[in-house]
Each structure stands twice: as structure tokens, then as C-alpha cells.
Amino acid sequence: MTTATKWHIGFALLLLATALVVGSLAAFAFLLPDGIALIPFRQLRPIHVSAALFWIISGATAGLVHFKRVEFGETRGSMLYTGFLVLWIGTILAVFGFYAVNQYGGREYWEFPPLLAVPLLFAWLLLMADYFRAWLKRTPDPPLYVWMWSTGLLFFLITFIEQNLYQIPWFRDNYLREITVQWKSNGSMVGAWNQMIYGTALYLMVKLSGDEGIARGRKVFIFWFLGLSNLMFNWGHHIYNVPTAGWIRHVAYGISMAEWIFLINIIQGFRAKMTEQRIHRNIITYRFLLASEFWVFLNLILALLMSIPAINRYTHGTHITVAHAMGTTIGINTMILLASIGTMLGMDALPDKERRWIKIGRRITTVSLLVFWFALIAAGLLKGYRSVALGMTDFQAMMQPVNNVLYVFAYAGLGVLLGLGIVVWAYFNRLLQPSS
């Protein structure tokens, strides 16, 4: 592994650790504003969300750059990649610097001053130049994961630009226009990083099972096509509060659900292959991939329920949306990224004693995340029931029992912090070993 990739992985892990610590602080700052409010919730939230999103994008690009090098037979690092890393890391540090002094100005999830979008855009262009230069050396009929990496990179660029269109007065002069473009682009951007992350999941499945068939054939190409349609059209269900035709939302939901069903199906096929070939089940990469399958399944059920209009009436804008956001970013994206980074660091080559810690961390995470996720759903249902069915308007009175459930969420969050913290610590240890 090159030194640049080590920096890339180290920075991504640091972002994950920040998201975990600040997320836990934010949960208690919300519940005890006078207690531990050294830093208030409104300041902690953007730090947490930006750290979480930058963790996912940095983790996804680290895997993509490293595995494409193996795939396209590159032997040396490149200046383009180094340039990307310097700009990327420098700008993200500046983002947190601005948050620290209460300077905002951006939009939801990207709340930093808008000018910082410029170096991020340049960094992305350098990354794309590095990738597509190597891509020219691909085999004539590349496996699906190469297509997924390529489209993920390209669509991230498109959605990032779209997300920044509000900087042009015509877009922000009309509130409805601005919010529609914001929600649409944020939804599509999730589709773009999913292409990169699911592409890496597919790559790992091929390498673990030794079966290239997993990334070839009609079924996986339908999966890719659904992923692409999803990132182009899933915005339909992200703009619920904006007046649009109902069928747009339903088509969008249908596509999103179908993509997940295909992903579960592909992972199940991979699992069957591993069993058939009697490949040892105790592999770290394998375990994290299976964990992501479990969370795809749970989030699929939640998303299907949320899409029923009679249920959505109660759940919209409650903590159920937060359960959906964190259930997918922690349960699916983070699990696949930990499989990917674990593979890059060669964690499976370590002695059993050291690997045991990762198993313990993973188990603590699974149990805590389940409690965390169900508590958010329960809080959302309770809030929806009290505001919509009981018609309560006094916010304090309405939130009183909801806050009790949110305590369960906050304590379970400490479990997630501990579980994932153990994994991050083990990965860092490995990263700092000279042989990694």
C-alpha cells in the first residue's frame, strides 16, 4: 500500500471516530441542554453530520483508489492522487475549523461556508483524472464493479454541482425551487456514493469467493441499471413536502426498494458460494459484508413501511427519518467500508488474539445499533402519534415521553461508540505497523 493511501485510510478512520464521539455528545446535548452543553446541539449536529458524510465519502474513495490500482495493474502512485488528498484533507479540516468558530452559510448536511465547495470540487476533479487515466487500461469487458466505480465518481461530481446550484441567485430566489433542488441532489448523491460502495462490496465478494461470475451476467447488470435509475430518480421520495404528482414518489420508491432486493440477492448468492467452497466463515471481510446484508434487510422493511401513506402521515419528519438515515449509513455503508478497509490493511493475516478484538467490537456494535435503531423508531412513532393523532401542539408536553425513549437511544449510541471504537482502534494499530 502506498503512503498516500495510508494517509487516506487514516484520515477516513479519524473522521469515523469524530462522528462517533460528536454524535454521542450531540445526543446528550439535545436531552440535557443545561447539563453538558459546553457545546450546544446546534453546533454539534453539523460537526457530527459532516464528519459522518465525509467518513463515508473518504472511506469509499480510499477503497476505490486502492482496488482500482490492483484491478488496472498500476504499480506506482500518482501526483493527481496526492493532489486530491492534500486538497481534500486540507478543505475538510477547514470545514471543522469554521464550525468551531460558528461560521456556517451552506445548506443541510453541508453547512460550511459555500466557498469551501470550490477546493472540494477541484479535489474531486483530480481524483477523477487519476481514476479515468488508469481506467483507460481496463480489459475490454470489465466486471460490473468497474462500471459502478466509474458511474459513482461521475455522478458524485454531477450531484455535488447540483447541490451547489443554490449559489446562483435564480435558484435561491424561489424557496420552493431551491428546496426541491436541494433535496433532490442530496438524495441522488447518496445514490452516487452507494454506486462506489456497492461496487467495492462486489469486488470484495469476487476476490473472497474467487468467483468472477458474481460481477458478471444479466442479474448484476440489472442491479447496476436499478442503481443508476435510483440515483437519477430516487429524489421522488425525498421531496415529500413539495407539491409533486404522487406517481413520481411511488416510481422512485419502487426503484429504491428493487435495488436493495437485488443487493440482498447478490450477497446471498455470494454466501452460498462461500459455503459451497467451504471457505472459512471467520474472515473479517466476510463478517462485515454479512452484517451489511442484515442491515439492508432491516432498512428495507422500515423503508417499505414508511412508504405506506397511512404510516407516512405519522412518521414524516420524526426520528424515524433519522433511524432511516443512520440505519443505512452505519448499518450498510459503514459495515461495507470496514470490510473494505479491513481487506486493504490485511487484518485477516493478524494473529487470532488481535482479530478477536474486532469480533468483539462488531458484536457490541450489532447489539447496540439494534437498540439504537429501534429506540429512534419508537421515538418517531410516539411523536407522530402525539402530534398527529392526539393533535398536541405544546412542544414541551408532546416531547416529554419521547425524550425518555431518546435516553435509550443516547445510551445505545455509547454502545455503538464503544463497538466501532474498538474496530477503529484495531485498524489504526495495524495502519501504524511498518508491515501494513
Q: Which residues are at the interface with ligand HEM (CB under 6 A)?
A: 16, 19-20, 23-24, 26-27, 30, 45, 48-49, 52, 321-322, 325-326, 329-330, 334, 410, 413, 416-417
The residue among 53 and 144 lying less far from ligand HEM, judged by its C-beta, is 53
* Residue of 317, 319, 271, 265 whose CA lies nearest to 296: 265
Q: How far is the CB of 426 from ligand HEM (least distance, A)?
A: 16
Note whether 3 and 80 are within 8 A (CB): no
State the minimum distance, in angstroms, from the CB of residue 104 to ligand HEM: 15
Based on CB atoms, which residue is closest to ligand HEM, 147 or 156?
A: 156
- Which C-beta is closer to ligand HEM: that of 19 or that of 350? 19
- With left for phi above 0 and alpha for psi between -120 and 50, is residue 217 left, alpha or beta? left
**CB of residue 79 to ligand HEM, shortest distance in Å:** 31
Q: Which is nearer to ligand HEM, 16 or 302 (CB)?
A: 16
CA distance 135 to 80: 14
CB of 20 to ligand HEM, least distance (A): 5
Calculate ∠ Cα 422-64-263, nearest 5°: 80
Rounded to an integer, what distance in angstroms lies between the CA atom of residue 273 and that of residue 275? 5
d(CA 169, CA 178): 10
State the minimum distance, in angstroms, from the CB of residue 422 to ligand HEM: 13
On the 0-12 / 13-18 / 19+ scale of CB atoms within 10 A, 184 is: buried
> For ligand HEM, which is the closer residue by CB, 270 or 295?
295
Q: Nearest-CB residue to ligand HEM?
A: 413
* Least separation in angstroms between CB 323 and ligand HEM: 9
| Closer residue to ligand HEM in complex, CB, 52/289 | 52
Q: Decide: 199 and 64 in contact? Cβ < 8 Å.
A: yes
Query: What's the grid cell of residue 166?
Result: 443554490
Place of cell 450531484: 159
